[in-house]
Amino acid sequence: MAEDPAAQTGEGDKKIVHTYPLVKYSDMPEEMKSECVELSMTACEKFANNYETAARTIKEAMDKKYGVYWHVVVGEGFGFEIGYETKNMLYLFFAGNIGIVLWKCS
């Protein structure tokens, strides 16, 4: 009986970790989206051990730049169902397992 080569090397259990932001959904204009992704990456790198502070940093920057009523969730293993203004939502993953959701509602 032949063994699976992946089982021999342990490759079958490897987890894929993205070293770049992976945008799962966005209806933002391209310029706004790229700015939000960059802001999110910077905040999550700066506050890697404190998701609450990262979320607050992102929210405050978005409120200042694009007006108030922005909401942000940063974390691992969460689900969401939201209502938001069209053209104002972004959902992405960063560093493999950190999920980030930004949306604006009035």
Domain covering 20-104, topology: Protein Inhibitor Of Neuronal Nitric Oxide Synthase (3.30.740)
Contact in structure between 89 and 28 (CB atoms under 8 Å):
yes
CA distances 46 to 16, 31, 43, 98, 100, Å, are 23, 23, 5, 14, 15
Q: Can you give the residue ranges of every domain in the chain?
A: 20-104
- The residue type of 45 is E
Contact between residue 40 and residue 94 where contact means Cβ atoms under 8 Å apart: yes
* Residue 101, strand partner residues: 73, 91
pTM for the whole structure: 0.80
pLDDT digits (tens, 9 = 90+) for 59-103: 999 999 999 999 999 999 999 999 999 999 999 999 888 999 999
pLDDT score of 13 more than 80: no
pLDDT at 11: 58
